[in-house]
Structure 1
Amino acid sequence: MAQVKAAMKRAWNSYRLKAWLRDELSPISGGNKTTFGGWAATLVDSLDTLYIMDMKTEFNEAVDAVVDIDFSKTSMHLINVFETTIRYLGGFLSAYDLSGDERLLMKALELAHMLYAAFDTPNRMPIMRWNLHWATKDKEQGGAGSPILAEIGSLSLEFTRLSQITGDPKWYDAIERIMALFDAQQHLSNLPGMWPLQVNADQTDFFTGATFSLAAWSDSMYEYLPKMHALLGGSPQYSKMYQYAMDTAIRHAIYRPMIKDDRDILMSGTVRVDDGRVSIHSELQHLVCFAGGMFALGGRLVNNASHVNIGHRLTNGCVWAYDHFPTGVMPETSTLVPCDDEPCKWDAAKWHIAVSEHASSMDKRNNTRASDIIRAERLPTGIASIGDRRYLLRPEAIESVFILYRITGIQTLQENAWNMFRSVYSRTQTPLANAALKDVTNATDPILKEDSMESFWTAETLKYFYLTFADPEYISLDDYVFNTEAHPFKRPVPKFTKQTKGNGWRWKWK
């Protein structure tokens, strides 16, 4: 814990000195970036991390600073409503839940009222790439267009928690319109149970796409189903949607890769449906590493032990990927070879065929021997191709390790977390903080870094590492629900309160 906290202090101090009130620190040059509205994304996104790590002096200074953020002003042409919701609104609500500082709730409401205008469309579906400047000038807004599944489907936790805190149902009503459509049409997609990566938000027929995944463009939509079930105190609607979606994902998207060692691991790929024929692309995205935690948490909440087991095997798959690359860090995207049957045995010839096929499909090294491609591309054993070699300081793998450890108590998960932290921290360290890696297959060139440190490094990655080594009762999963930006929201406890009129008692969420 102490070393993780030291990493947070180092990154925070550099942000404070070099990029205060800017969205992001450039961790190599010492400059700054405007990426999410210019409203101090790293500062707001990290509020609860400061509080959780007992950096109270830094927390209090940060709260004093956020009071003056003006959300009506931005230099950006379009605002990403999803990112603004999970990073800013989620950051304010979580820090309020932890500290009780009313100023944070006031900022949350100020921001929420602004975001609410994005729902002012003919069918009340929000505009996810929203022109704030038009809205402030009362210009007419069009429809919601064709947003990404994860973006339009992942506003529910934040707006629901705001309704719970304030007692105002308008925030919950806004997102319930969206989720009611997801519920009603879940069985109507080309892969019943799951929704395609893009949504026709202006149409009555909401879901018509042919590509399905738990990974990029869809991830937090599925993640929020069991978490909404928890935040609402046991919602049949969200429990049903979660179980239906995961039943479909288990049948079609989850696969076992062919690897040389005997680890029992699973991966989650991308599914295509063409003329009724279902096929899977056996990729591995870092973003999909959240799925192990989702299955484990969902399984616990709906009392499904098989989901917890699947979550364990998915998490082990991402831990394996970290171990398997020479830097001890997994890339953004890679491709493996799926097992055709059980028992799943290693077949070097089959791996070589897959390597050649992937190289050929990308118009690279036609007629080149697989062994030469493996050497030139620095492909670890079992990896057929690497689509994106970068590591962007992402949190998804440690997120699942954290959740699985909290649910199962398996001690080796802490060992996994420590190995991951040492690799990530040592490889990404700069004189100021930590930077994204350009190529996780190159263990010898320390210069291969990008001048980028997104706010999720301090908001999520370091927080999940820290909490993995903390007392399991600290920020307990029984008491909190984490949004997709790792902001913990209090799970409200129903209490009996005396009615002001009439006789008897009624439930009220506290």
Structure 2
Amino acid sequence: MASGDVFVLPVYQRYINGVPVSTNRRILRLREKYVILLVLISFGSVCFGAFFFLPDLRDRMNVMEIKRQLDQAGGDIFMPRADEDVVKRLHFKAGELEDSHKLRDKAKLQEKIEWDKAQDEVLRKIRTRLNISKEHHDQVRQVIADDKQKVVRLKEQQEEQKKEEERQKALKFVKDHDAVDVEKKDGAVNLDKQTKQRRETVKQMMKHSWDSYVKYAWGQNELKPISRHGHSATVFGHTSFGATIVDALDTLYIMGMMDEYKKGRDWVATSLSFEGSSDISVFEVNIRFVGGLLSAYALTGDQILKNKALDIGNKLLPAFNTPTGIPFALVNLRSGTGRNFGWASGGSSILSEFGTLHLEFAYLSQVTGNPVFLEKVQKIRAHLQKLDKADNLYPNYLNPRTGIWGQRHSSVGALGDSFYEYLLKAWIQSGKTDTEARKMYDESLKGIEGKMLQTSAGGLKYFADIRNGRPDGKMGHLACFTGGLLALGAEGSTNKDHYMGLAADIAHTCHESYDRTATKLGPESFRFSGGIEAKAIRQNEKYYILRPEVVETYFYMWRFTKDQKYREWGWQAVEALEKWCKTESGYSGIRDVYQLNPTKDDVQQSFFLAETLKYLYLLFSDDSVLPFDKWVFNTEAHPLPIKGTHISMP
């Protein structure tokens, strides 16, 4: 294309019947005019209809009326009626054409005015008849509110009355079955003035511990009395289960602290729940929670406590899913899987843990009628019966998968202690019919006395741990419970006097471990070597965490001997606790018993309320409080009834 050419869009010529027609049309076709006219007519009709509907809408016509008028208006617009219909709908007045819609609006308005007047008249007559002024109306409203409050108070009173009736029923039941001597006011009637005062001091210690926990750590597992907030040890996992509440319930009840007991019981009923994803210690949960709830149930007959114990017991059952029936140490609440501590001799279970289930599980089966719990602990015993025991000693570790003992380490202290305790107490709990348990206890006692019992250069007798066949020359605070155990088991043994004498020797040694410190409180463990007698050497042995084992032995020895020195030794412990462990907000352990003004560890252990204070209270009480022929204590000091001497409430 040449440079002179111009780019022009093609022009298309229109033809009609072969005649060219111009493309620049300026006139609308007839069809287009009709369309525009129809649009204008429709728009005008809509405006005309809306104009007449507006008054009815302002009067808030109901839906049916609006629908009726829309139907009527639509008909008039799109399908006009005959002229005679139009004449009927239009009225002439003073030369003006007035719409019938407006006439109806005026009529309705007049009716509404008359209706409002009628209502006002009725209300006026009512106010006149009742003589109700605004002030009087407010008074009536206040009277109604007061009546509602009276109803609420009445319901609360009825609930309180019902609970009190239940409590009195439980107290009567306890009295009828000699659980706690209610007539003697918990055994105070036979006490001298000094003993009563000491007993009251222990009760006030309990109140101080409990009130501080309630104020600063309610619902938490334990209290940090100096920091004034909750504390949770690893034995409870990562969840708050109110361990102190459950552990303290029976102590509160035994001491007659009913208001405090009720508060704890109500929390258990409404808030105690073992849910979550925590790994919990089967041993600790059993002795503190299952044992604590069953003990409170046995004392009161409260079904809620039994049901809670059953629920928790069921949560522990997956731990027994092993080839041998020996349970794992830990169970996960969510998954139901069990496992052992990695440090426990190649993943073994611990003797004192799987061997300290019998009392609670046997009683739980008894009161619920569910045999599964008793079957679990009987299977443990059956497996132990098949194993070889060198020198009648039970090693502290047992593999739950292979059923083979772990490392050769035996102890009546940590890792082994309560296994031996439960052999004897299972026999007592059964009404002395479980002769297998008694036989196992007697045989193990031969090994303990033959291998573990040592005499120091100063003449102190103690139980040492055995490691690879050799004693290690020290005794733990936990092992001091054996004084009480020997005294309890002397009855029914072949040589009662011998074992009572040995019990007294152990009690004396453990008292010396207290008396040889600056605080008069005993260390976690103490040694006998190189001129050292009943004293801790290493710093990690010098702490005291409110443990109960020494005063536990004092209690048993008092019951069996009535030697006043045991009450005096117990009182020395009370004075030391008050001086060195008491804080403004509870009681704390101390880090070094050999220092005056020792540093506190800032933990009020739940077992301080469950065991230490309970044993001290019972030490200064009459024997009618929880007599040994009707009750046996679990390893957390929770009393459980002896079979055949106590009837659980239905």
With normalisation by structure 2, the TM-score equals: 0.65
Show the counterpart of 2:581. 428
Secondary structure at the aligned position of 2:470 is classed as strand
Residue type of the alignment partner of 1:237: E
Q: CA offset at residue 141 of structure 1? A: 5.8
1:289 lines up with 2:480 in the alignment: yes
Q: What SS does the aligned partner of 1:419 have? A: helix
Q: State the partner residue of 2:604.
A: 453
**Aligned-partner Cα distance in 2 for 1:230–1:509:** 21
Q: 1:416 to 1:154 in 2, by over 3 A?
A: same
Amino acid at match of 2:462: M
Change (3 A) 1:313 1:118: same
Select which of 230, 233, 238 maps to 2:431: 233
Partner of residue 183, structure 2: none
How many angstroms apart in 1 are the aligned matches of 2:460 and 2:616? 22
Contact kept? 1:164, 1:509, Cα under 8 Å: no
Larger Rg: 2
Matched residue, 2:4? none
Shift of 1:45: 0.5
Structure 1 residues 142 and 323: CA distance shift in structure 2, 3 A: closer
1:167 Cα offset (Å): 3.1
Q: 1:304 to 1:96 in 2, by over 3 A?
A: farther
Given candidates 611, 617, 636, the residue that maps to 1:485 is 636
Matched residue, 2:594? 441
Alignment map for 1:230-379 (pairs within 5 Å):
230-234=428-432, 235-259=434-458, 265-273=460-468, 278-302=469-493, 304-305=495-496, 306-337=498-529, 350-351=530-531
Contact conserved, 2:513 with 2:535, CA < 8 A, in 1?
A: no
Match of 1:392 among 534, 545, 557: 545
Alignment match, 1:419 = 572
Structure 1 residue 451 displacement after superposition: 1.0
Residue of structure 2 aligned with 1:219, choices 401, 417, 432: 417
Report the identity percentage.
34
Paired with 1:309 and 1:172, the residues of 2 have a C-alpha distance of 35
SS at match of 1:406: helix
Distance 1:237 1:41, change over 3 A: same
Structure number with the higher helix fraction is 2
Look up the match of 2:59. Answer: none
Return closer, same or farther for 1:31/1:404 CA change in 2, 3 Å cut-off. same
**2:349 and 2:399 in contact (8 A); partners too:** yes
Which secondary structure state, in structure 2, belongs to the residue aligned with residue 481 of structure 1?
Answer: strand
| Structure 1 residues 49 and 494: alpha-carbon distance in aligned structure 2, compared to 1, 3 A threshold | closer
- The Cα of 1:334 is off from its aligned counterpart by 2.1
Q: Structure 2: where are the runs of 5+ without partners?
A: 1-198, 342-346
The match for 1:465 among 610, 613, 616 is 616
Distance across 2 between alignment mates of 1:69 and 1:180: 38
Measure, in 2, the Cα distance between the counterparts of 1:383 and 1:220. 24
Q: What SS does structure 2 have at the residue aligned with 1:3? A: helix
Q: Which residue of 2 aligns with 1:130?
A: 331
CA distance in 1, matches of 2:339, 2:503: 41
Please give the residue correspondences for 1:145-184 in structure 2 after superposition, counting only pairs within 5 Å: 145-184=347-386
Superposed CA RMSD: 2.2
Structure 1 distance, partners of 2:610, 2:272, is 21
Paired residues, what number? 440
Whichever residue aligns with residue 548 of structure 2, its letter is P
Letter in 2 for 1:424: L
Aligned pair in 2 of structure 1 residues 230, 45: CA closer, same or farther (>3 Å)?
A: same
* Aligned residue number for residue 340 of structure 1: none
What CA distance in whole angstroms lies between the structure 2 residues aligned with 1:471 and 1:399?
A: 16
Whole-Å Cα distance in 2 between the matches of residues 249 and 17 of structure 1?
Answer: 45
CA distance in 1, matches of 2:480, 2:244: 23
**Contact 2:340-2:349 within 8 A present in 1 as well:** no
1:447-485 residue CA offsets vs partner (Å, 9 max, x unmatched): x10111110010100000000000012111111110000
The amino acid across from 1:271 in the alignment is I
Per-residue CA deviations over 1:369-414 (Å, capped at 9, x if unaligned) read xxxxxxxxxxxx6647245110000000001111111122222111
Partners of 2:474 and 2:395 in 1: CA distance: 17
SS at match of 1:47: helix
Partner of 1:345: none
Tell me the residue number matched to 1:409.
562
Q: Using the alignment, how far apart are the partners of 1:475 and 1:82 within structure 2? A: 25
Query: Which residue is 1:96 aligned to?
Result: 297
Partner of 1:195: 394
- How many angstroms does 1:299 deviate by? 1.3
Trace 1:99-118 onto structure 2 (pairs within 5 A): 99-118=300-319
Matched with 2:82 is none
**Residue aligned with 1:134, SS:** coil
* TM-score calculated relative to the size of structure 1: 0.82
Matched with 1:378 is none
Contact kept, 8 Å, 2:552 with 2:612, in 1: the verdict is yes
Q: Shift of residue 117 of structure 1?
A: 2.4
CA distance in 2, matches of 1:494, 1:430: 42
Q: CA deviation at 1:219?
A: 0.6
Give the Å deviation of 1:29.
0.9
Of the three residues 321, 326, 334, the one matched with 1:120 is 321
Show structure 1 runs of 5+ residues with no match. Answer: 338-349, 356-380, 497-507
The answer to which of 86-95 and 193-202 deviates more is 193-202
Q: Which residue of 2 aligns with 1:33?
A: 231
